[in-house]
């Protein structure tokens, strides 16, 4: 099994500052192999981030005409990411 790449995440937001990002719906699925699902879970459950509001929306249609959904996520930065949030990714 190949080792997934390390994520370099630095947020300019101060602790308790507002953060937001968009992420493809499939990246939040437990079956995701990119590592984003694990990263989001660790950031939230490790106390690094607090999700205030996720909003699902149709980003666009695929070339086959199927809707592609994303989530807009708004939250708060609780503290900087540390090794406990990133371990094993």
Distance CA 64, CA 20 (A): 29
Q: Give CA 60 to chain center in angstroms.
A: 20
pLDDT at 7: 46
Distance CA 76, CA 89 (A): 22
Which pLDDT tens digit goes with each residue over 24-79?
Answer: 998 888 888 888 888 888 888 778 888 899 999 999 999 999 999 999 999 998 88
**What is the residue whose two structure tokens read 């101060």?**
14
pLDDT at 2: 46
* pLDDT (average), residues 15-26: 87
From its phi and psi, is residue 88 left (phi > 0), alpha (psi between -120 and 50) or beta?
Answer: left
pLDDT at 15: 80
* pLDDT (average), residues 6-19: 67
Across the beta sheet with 18-24, the strand order is 18-24, 67-77, 49-61
């Amino acid at each position: 099994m190949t080792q997934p790449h390390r994520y370099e995440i630095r947020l300019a937001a101060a602790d308790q500052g507002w953060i937001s990002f968009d992420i493809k719906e499939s990246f939040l699925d437990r079956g995701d192999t990119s590592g984003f699902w694990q990263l989001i879970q660790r950031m939230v459950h490790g106390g690094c981030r607090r999700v205030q509001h996720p909003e699902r929306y149709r980003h666009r249609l695929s070339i086959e005409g199927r809707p592609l959904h994303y989530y807009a996520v708004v939250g708060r930065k609780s503290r900087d990411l540390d090794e406990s949030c990133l371990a094993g990714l």
